[in-house]
Amino acid sequence: MDVSIIIVAWNVRKLLYDCLKSVYDQTKGVDFEVIYVDNASKDGSVEMVTKEFPEVKVIRNEENKGFIKANNQGIEVAQGRYVLLLNSDTIVLDNAITKTVKFADEHPKAAVVGCRVLNPDYTIQLTCFMYPSLLNMFLAATYLYKIFPKSRLFGREYMTWWDFNNVREVQTIAGCYSLVRMEAIKQVGLMDELYFVYSDDPDWCYRFRKSGWKIMFTPDAQIIHYGGQNTKQMAREFRWQLEGSRLIFMRLHRNKLEFLAARLLTALFLLLRIPYHLGVGLFARTKRKHSFETVKTYWLGAYYCLASWTQLLMNAEVVKQKLREMSTNRNL
């Protein structure tokens, strides 16, 4: 088996159908299997997959275990030399999977390979980026990367200065489409389930690079990624989770002072955005409800960053318990 394609979804039946159809229509020349992990969908997703794509292996969770745990479930039963983590809101184009496998075979030190990811209007999505750091968090908080996108300094985190038209070694590949070498997984381990969702990709790539592997991008393969379709059902919780997941990375891979500064910068990031949304709510009647909800989300998020950062997380109790265990082991 060349590649095991793992798709995790939660209540996105139509998008899931389109994704699976594109996989089977656009994947020629490699031996592959598809593993679908359903996170307790209530919209008939499992029944659709079973009926329309009977060759797909289905893992059905009775509760939403999160993106990371569900992908790990798929990896644990995968038979391929590679696993492809593929978001359910993607469309595979022009034999992209085969092209990525070929590239990985030609670069045996690459643990993770990503491809060109397009928006529905075929503009480029920024899917290669650097690890969380105090400098990157400061640039994000102040929006300097949007004001000066062509600057290699201000645009460094999301590589906004790059056109994604050439092969390049990078720090992180976004998890919407990442081909991962099974040999590297066996050496480094599965994704860290502390993350639940978000920041799993920089964490995993960080661990691969520490073990001597490379993270590579190729422009030869392309997909479309709609983005945000799984998360819009619980927008506030996922917004907090996004910021909290970055803080998990800082807590695990940086020192205590950097972690404290990261909490302050995350709070600053959220607070600086409140005046804009407050103004929209006051002067744009049709957007008032959504804008005021966003203000509340950012205000509470900033408070949690400063007062009790784990409250940002969907799996807060799991994270607190794990961190307590880590602290105890260090003291021993």
pLDDT one-digit tens code per residue, 253-262: 999 999 999 9
Q: Is residue 148 a part of any domain in this protein?
A: no
Half-sphere exposure of 173 toward its Cβ, with a 13 Å CA cutoff? 30
Residue 280, φ and ψ in degrees, nearest 5 = -60, -45
Q: Is residue 197 a part of any domain in this protein?
A: yes
Q: Are 30 and 100 in contact (CB under 8 A)?
A: no
Q: Which of 225, 249, 266 is the last residue of a domain?
A: 225
Into how many domains does the chain fold? 2
In this prediction, residue 196 carries a pLDDT of: 85
User: What CA–CA distance (Å, rounded) separates 322 from 201?
Assistant: 20
Q: Is residue 134 a part of any domain in this protein?
A: no
Please state whether beta strands 214-225 and 90-93 pair in parallel, antiparallel, or not at all (unpaired). antiparallel
Q: Is residue 131 a part of any domain in this protein?
A: no
Nearest to 217 by CA among 151, 152, 158, 172: 172
Q: What is the per-residue DSSP string for 59-113?
A: EEESS--HHHHHHHHHHHH--SSEEEEE-TTEEEETTHHHHHHHHHHH-TTEEEE
In this prediction, residue 228 carries a pLDDT of: 67
**pLDDT reading at 332 higher than 60:** no
User: What CA–CA distance (Å, rounded) separates 95 from 221?
Assistant: 7
Domain that holds residue 315: 232-331
Q: Is residue 47 a part of any domain in this protein?
A: yes
Residue-wise pLDDT tens digits, 297-315 = 999 999 999 999 999 999 9
Give the three-state DSSP class for 114: strand
SS (H, E, C) 10-66: CCCHHHHHHHHHHHHHCCCCCCEEEEEEEECCCCCHHHHHHHHCCCCEEEEECCCCH
**CATH number of domain containing 72:** 3.90.550.10
Are 217 and 278 found together in one domain? Answer: no
Are 207 and 247 found together in one domain? Answer: no
Are 214 and 257 found together in one domain? Answer: no
What are the structure tokens assigned to 167, written together? Answer: 């092969």
**pLDDT reading at 127 higher than 60:** yes
Task: Give the confidence band of 230 by pLDDT, cuts at 50, 70, 90.
Answer: low
Are 300 and 175 found together in one domain? Answer: no
Residue 58, φ and ψ in degrees, nearest 5 = -110, 130
Q: Is residue 133 a part of any domain in this protein?
A: no
Q: Which of 207, 225, 243 is the last residue of a domain?
A: 225
- Per-range mean pLDDT, top range of 109-113, 272-276, 287-291: 109-113
Are 178 and 278 found together in one domain? Answer: no
In this prediction, residue 143 carries a pLDDT of: 84
Are 175 and 219 found together in one domain? Answer: yes
Residue-wise pLDDT tens digits, 106-121 = 999 999 999 999 999 9
More confident residue, 230 or 30: 30
Residue-wise pLDDT tens digits, 22-71 = 999 999 999 999 999 999 999 999 999 999 999 999 999 999 988 899 99
Give the three-state DSSP class for 8: strand
Q: Is residue 45 a part of any domain in this protein?
A: yes
In this prediction, residue 19 carries a pLDDT of: 97
Are 52 and 180 found together in one domain? Answer: yes
Averaged pLDDT for residues 194-223: 95
Q: Is residue 155 a part of any domain in this protein?
A: no
Are 64 and 179 found together in one domain? Answer: yes
Averaged pLDDT for residues 201-207: 96
More confident residue, 330 or 131: 131
**pLDDT reading at 134 higher than 70:** yes
In this prediction, residue 201 carries a pLDDT of: 93
User: What CA–CA distance (Å, rounded) separates 316 from 52?
Assistant: 37
Are 183 and 91 found together in one domain? Answer: yes
**pLDDT reading at 328 higher than 80:** no
**pLDDT reading at 232 higher than 90:** no
> 85-99, 192-206, 207-221: lowest mean pLDDT where?
192-206
**pLDDT reading at 330 higher than 80:** no
In this prediction, residue 156 carries a pLDDT of: 94
- Nearby residues of 76 by Cβ (< 8 Å), 6 or more positions away: 190
> 163-177, 199-213, 225-239, 269-283: lowest mean pLDDT where?
225-239
H helix or E strand, kind and range, residue 7:
strand 3-9
Are 105 and 236 found together in one domain? Answer: no
Are 244 and 202 found together in one domain? Answer: no
Are 79 and 188 found together in one domain? Answer: yes
Mean of all residue pLDDT scores within the chain: 93
Q: Distance between terminal CA atoms of the chain?
A: 44
Q: Which of 225, 255, 270 is the last residue of a domain?
A: 225
Whole-model pTM?
Answer: 0.91
Give the three-state DSSP class for 224: strand
pLDDT more than 70, % of the chain: 97
